[in-house]
């Protein structure tokens, strides 16, 4: 049986990133699980979009770019449709990636999430809870889309679905803030 080359292990990557942080003179911040959770919550409050990965019943991966809001460590998105919903009907397992780099190591930060998604639509009370969390995004969206008719707005209110992802495992790194590659898992 052929052994698959997976490249560096998580631990080897972690040691390399720690070394890079020290080389560029940024103070290294080791975080315990509670501190890491707080760091991730702070990171999730930034305005940025994410990539949501789902897999179809025939094994074809799909990536969707979505805006989001957070509720603690949970990630909430809203969408009118697309193949992601067919895929989520097949499997609630998802992966999320959020990150940035300007092409230099000192600028790199990011979060990857493996989690389980739930979909809610009106009139489910959980839909309203999720949409209330999406309020800051929806307010900005409403300002940008001034030429929408009331009929279109009503239609969207009934076609939009909320997606809530609860993380099972996360990997976080924030080189500008001295946080090396760290892993979090739900208890």
Is 1 inside any structural domain?
Answer: no
Cα distances from 144 to residues 121, 125, 138, 140, in angstroms, run: 24, 27, 10, 6
For the chain, give the DSSP string: -PPP---S-HHHHHHHHHHHHHHTTPPP----HHHHHHHHHHHHTS--EEEEEEE-TTS-EEEEEEE-EEETTEEEEEES--HHHHHHHH--EEEEEEEE-SSSGGG-EEEEEEEEEEEE-TT-HHHHHHHHHTHHHHHHHHHH-TT--HHHHHHHHHH-EEEEEEEEEEEEEEGGGTEEEEEEE--
The residue segments making up the domain with residue 116 are 10-182
- Which pLDDT score, from 0 to 100, does residue 28 have? 95
- Structure tokens given for 70: 């957070």
Nearest to 49 by CA among 95, 96, 115, 9: 96
Residue 58: CATH number of its domain: 2.30.110.10
Count of domains observed in the chain? 1
- Asked whether residue 4 is assigned to any structural domain, the reply reads no
Does residue 78 form part of some domain?
A: yes
Give a yes or no: residue 5 inside a domain: no
This prediction has a pTM of 0.88
> For residues 185 and 26, is the Cβ–Cβ distance under 8 A?
no
φ, ψ of residue 91 in degrees (nearest 5): -145, 130
**Inside any domain, residue 2:** no
User: Does any domain span residue 59?
Assistant: yes
The percentage of the chain sitting over the pLDDT mark of 90, rounded to a whole number, equals: 69
User: Is 98 or 2 the better-scoring residue by pLDDT?
Assistant: 98
- Are 75 and 162 within 8 A, CB to CB? no
The predicted-structure confidence for 29-52, as pLDDT tens digits, reads as follows: 999 999 999 999 999 999 889 999
pLDDT of 157: 64
With a pLDDT cut of 70, the percent of the chain lying above it is 90
CA count, 13 A, side-chain hemisphere, 74 = 15
Has residue 76 been placed in a domain? yes
Average pLDDT over residues 136-141: 73
Q: Model confidence at 144, in pLDDT bands (50, 70, 90)?
A: low
> Residue 126: what are its φ and ψ, rounded to 5°?
-70, -30
């Amino acid at each position: 049986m052929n052994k698959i080359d997976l490249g560096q292990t998580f631990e080897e990557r972690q040691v390399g990133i720690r070394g890079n942080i020290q080389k560029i003179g940024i103070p290294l911040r080791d975080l315990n699980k509670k501190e890491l959770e707080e760091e991730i919550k702070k990171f999730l409050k930034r305005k940025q979009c994410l990539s949501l990965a789902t897999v179809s019943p025939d094994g074809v991966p799909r990536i969707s770019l979505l805006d989001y809001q957070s509720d603690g460590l949970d990630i909430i998105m809203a969408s009118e449709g697309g193949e992601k919903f067919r895929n989520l009907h097949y499997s609630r397992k998802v992966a999320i990636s959020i990150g940035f780099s300007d092409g230099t190591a000192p600028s790199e930060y990011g979060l990857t999430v493996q989690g389980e998604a739930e979909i809610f639509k009106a009139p489910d009370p959980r839909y309203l809870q999720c949409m209330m969390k999406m309020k800051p995004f929806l307010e900005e969206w409403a300002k940008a889309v001034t030429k929408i008719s009331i009929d279109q707005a009503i239609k969207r209110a009934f076609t939009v679905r909320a997606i809530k992802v609860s993380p099972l495992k996360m990997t976080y790194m924030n080189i500008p803030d001295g946080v090396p590659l760290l892993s979090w898992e739900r208890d």
